């Protein structure tokens, strides 16, 4: 199936690890020109080496996206070095878990800084440029936000992160509604537990808390999922590829759950 992504310029925030890295690999395999951004140069270099070993090239950009001006800088840098951005995949962020009784205003603010704004800043900068291009008769671009099921179902230890995710969903559908007039599409994926390093670390912690092995902690977690297992990052990347492709040309404002059937929600 030709997804029409060959030579497209794709910026992937959080592209050095996990779901973002899986997206970098998937888009690069489609022939896209991929740029990845994250904070730690060592993570970026490791991602580049991994992809290089698979015959894939990516452009690296270092930034901390919780800083308001970093998005304008990286978008300018990628536009100059690689070309105007056709696709933005937002996957940079991580919300800490809190005991609900320790949640205070600072914790909510820190969570918005860690998860909400690192998506909003690049999205606003890229949208501004995509709209300018579209108004000038250029091809409209598309955005896929990797958000999280925690924004749909409240969990005692993920209330602040869930609130950030819920706000990101609202921003996704609201901006999709407005920017459709320019042909710009914005969609989101809500992963459930997905086997990235972050989840592996959480499993190790859970295992040590319960005096069990990591394999047992994983088995217990996976047993709760109707499909019987956690997602693989490349499964999330495949759906991001489709949503960003011309094969999804009439899909905008969609929030795709990928939780293995865990939450029977409409």
Ligand X SMILES: NC(=O)c1ccc[n+]([C@@H]2O[C@H](COP(=O)([O-])OP(=O)(O)OC[C@H]3O[C@@H](n4cnc5c(N)ncnc54)[C@H](OP(=O)(O)O)[C@@H]3O)[C@@H](O)[C@H]2O)c1
Which residues form the interface with ligand X (CB under 6 A)? 14, 16-20, 37-40, 43, 63-66, 91-95, 115, 118, 146, 148, 191, 193-194, 196-199
Nearer to ligand X, 46 or 140 (CB): 46
CA distances (Å), origin 236, targets 28, 107, 163, 228: 15, 29, 22, 16
Task: Report how far residue 175's alpha carbon sits from residue 79's, in angstroms, rounded to the nearest whole number.
Answer: 22
CB of 148 or CB of 260, closer to ligand X: 148
Task: Report the greatest alpha carbon distance in the chain.
Answer: 61
In the complex, the smallest distance separating the C-beta of residue 139 from ligand X, rounded to whole angstroms, is: 27
Measure CA 234 to chain center: 12
3-state helix vs strand vs coil in the chain, percent to 5:
55, 15, 35
Tell me the closest approach of the beta carbon of residue 62 to ligand X, in angstroms.
Answer: 8
| Closest distance of CB 235 from ligand X, Å | 11
Nearer to ligand X, 141 or 192 (CB): 192
Strands (E), the chain: 9-13, 33-38, 58-62, 87-90, 142-146, 185-191, 255-258
Distance between CA atoms of residues 235 and 94, nearest Å: 19
The least distance separating ligand X from the CB of residue 247, rounded to whole angstroms, comes to 23
Q: Give CA–CA dist 217/205, Å, rounded.
A: 9
Of 82 and 225, which has the nearer Cβ to ligand X?
225
Instruction: For the CB of residue 38, give the shortest distance to ligand X in the complex, in Å.
Output: 3
Judged by beta carbon, residue 131 or residue 240, the one nearer ligand X is 240
Give the residue at shortest CB distance from ligand X.
Answer: 18
Q: Which two tokens stand for residue 177?
A: 């509604």
By the 8 A CB rule, do 11 and 75 touch? yes
Minimum Å distance from CB 185 to ligand X? 20
Q: In the complex, what is the shortest distance from the CB of residue 182 to ligand X, in angstroms, rounded to a whole number? A: 26
Q: Can you tell me the distance from the alpha carbon of 60 to that of 249, in angstroms, rounded to the nearest whole number?
A: 29
Q: How far is the CB of 154 from ligand X (least distance, A)?
A: 15
Nearer to ligand X, 182 or 242 (CB): 242
Minimum CB distance to ligand X smaller for 118 or for 260 = 118
Measured from the CB atom, the residue of 19 and 218 that comes closer to ligand X is 19
Packing angle between helix 117-135 and helix 70-81, nearest 10 degrees?
Answer: 50
Q: Is residue 86 helix, strand or coil?
A: coil
């Amino acid at each position: 199936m030709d997804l029409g992504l060959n030579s497209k310029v794709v910026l992937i925030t959080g592209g050095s690890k996990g779901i973002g890295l899986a997206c970098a690999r998937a888009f690069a395999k489609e022939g896209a020109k991929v740029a990845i951004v994250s904070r730690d140069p060592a993570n970026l270099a490791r991602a580049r080496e991994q992809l290089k070993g698979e015959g894939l090239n990516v452009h690296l950009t270092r930034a901390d996206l919780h800083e308001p001006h970093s998005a304008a800088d990286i978008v300018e840098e990628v536009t100059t070095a690689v070309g105007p951005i056709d696709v933005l995949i937002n996957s940079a962020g991580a919300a800490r878990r809190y005991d609900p009784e320790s949640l205070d205003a600072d914790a909510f603010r820190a969570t918005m800084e860690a998860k909400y704004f690192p998506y909003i800043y690049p999205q606003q900068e890229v949208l501004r440029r995509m709209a300018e291009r579209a108004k000038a008769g250029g091809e409209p671009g598309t955005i896929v936000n990797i958000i999280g099921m925690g924004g749909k179902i409240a969990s005692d230890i993920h209330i602040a992160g869930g609130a950030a995710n819920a706000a990101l969903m609202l921003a996704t559908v609201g901006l999709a509604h407005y920017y459709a007039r320019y042909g710009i599409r914005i969609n989101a994926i809500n992963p459930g537990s997905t086997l990235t390093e972050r989840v592996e670390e959480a499993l190790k912690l859970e295992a040590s808390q319960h005096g069990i092995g990591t394999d047992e902690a994983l088995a217990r977690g996976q047993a709760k999922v109707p499909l019987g297992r956690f997602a693989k990052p490349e499964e999330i990347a495949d759906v991001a590829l489709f949503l960003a492709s011309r094969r999804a040309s009439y899909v905008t404002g969609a929030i795709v759950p990928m939780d293995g059937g865990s939450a029977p929600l409409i």
